[in-house]
Amino acid sequence: MAAQRDLAHRLTSGIHVKLIATCAALFALAATGCQPHDRVIDVLPAPTTGYRPQQPTRTARGPQPQPNRQTASVPWWKWRTKPTPPPLKSSISPEPGWVPASGISNTWECIVIHHSANDKDTPRSMDAWHRQRGWDELGYHFVIGNGERYPDGLIFVGPRWAKQKQGAHCKTPGAYYNEHGIGICLIGNMEDHRPTPRQMEALTQLVAFLQRQCGIPPDKILMHGHITHKTACPGRYFSIGDLMQRLNARP
């Protein structure tokens, strides 16, 4: 019995000690938790009453162009008038004298190509020879030099073209080819050799210009001998096919 009482006394004392220690710890924790924590509160954000989106940053800009009211309000497919495109620039630049002061007559319908049959000819010598035959002046409208006694590829504009006067270069019944044909003569004998490259370049440019100005179709670019069948002019080494290829290759 005495042993049992001693054991109960020890257990009761231990419980009391633990209870006292627990109460002391709770009291200390409660006292610490009531103290203000200024350091933590200071870093919290200020309270908000609603959502405020971030405002975009504005950058300074100069005056903006105002839209055209017509194009802004009317679709392009409903425009009554379309913008006028700039005129196309021709790749053919006429030389001085190609367009006479009085303009170009509407009488011209074809082009007739000749050769002079002499490498030493000049527009002046040809004019003198034509006068000896009874003509009033040089019979051709244009003459193209070969570099011998007249500059290679240089186009001489005859007085007949300046006056828009009929030619004296292709005699046929009815005089159609003199009255309506523009006579172009290449200096040189194309029975012996080809025209110079510069002669062909000049001829191509001149013919293309005359076609455009006078509305002359390709099938009206003719050779003297093919019209009269009495001469080899403009010579066996002149190629009408080469000329047509050059004309077709122009832009």
Is residue 176 a part of any domain in this protein?
yes
pTM: 0.64
Is residue 28 a part of any domain in this protein?
no
Query: β-pairing, 110-115 with 142-144?
Result: unpaired
The residue assigned the tokens 């030493």 is 120
What CA–CA distances, in Å, run from 33 to 30, 47, 50? 5, 24, 32
pLDDT at 71: 36
Q: Specify whether the CB–CB gap between 141 and 183 falls below 8 A.
A: yes
Is residue 214 a part of any domain in this protein?
yes
pLDDT (tens digit per residue) in 154-182: 999 999 999 999 999 999 999 999 999 99
Is residue 72 a part of any domain in this protein?
no
Whether residue 11 has pLDDT greater than 70: no
CA 54 vs. chain centroid, Å, equals 49
In the chain, where does DSSP find H-type helix? 2-33, 38-42, 69-73, 123-132, 159-163, 176-180, 197-214, 224-228, 240-249
Q: CA angle, 222 as apex, 220 and 223 as ends, to 5°?
A: 175
Q: State the total domains in the chain.
A: 1
pLDDT at 251: 79
Q: Write phi, then psi, for 165 (nearest 5 degrees).
A: -100, 145
Is residue 96 a part of any domain in this protein?
no
pLDDT at 14: 52
Where on the phi/psi map is residue 90: left (φ > 0), alpha (ψ -120 to 50), or beta? beta
Is residue 8 a part of any domain in this protein?
no
Comparing C-alpha atoms, which of 105, 143, 106 is closest to residue 124? 143
Domain extent, residue 171, equals 110-249
Is residue 91 a part of any domain in this protein?
no
CATH number where 176 lies: 3.40.80.10
Is residue 155 a part of any domain in this protein?
yes
pLDDT at 193: 97
What mean pLDDT do residues 59-69 have?
47
Instruction: List % helix, strand, coil for the chain (3-state, nearest 5).
Output: 40, 10, 50
pLDDT (tens digit per residue) in 29-60: 444 444 444 333 333 333 333 333 344 444 44
> Which is more confident, 46 or 148?
148
Q: How far apart are CA 193 and CA 195, in angstroms?
A: 7
- Of 134-138, 157-161, 197-201, 247-251, which range is least confident? 247-251
pLDDT at 97: 86
Amino acid at 48: T
Q: CA angle, 208 as apex, 249 and 219 as ends, to 5°?
A: 85
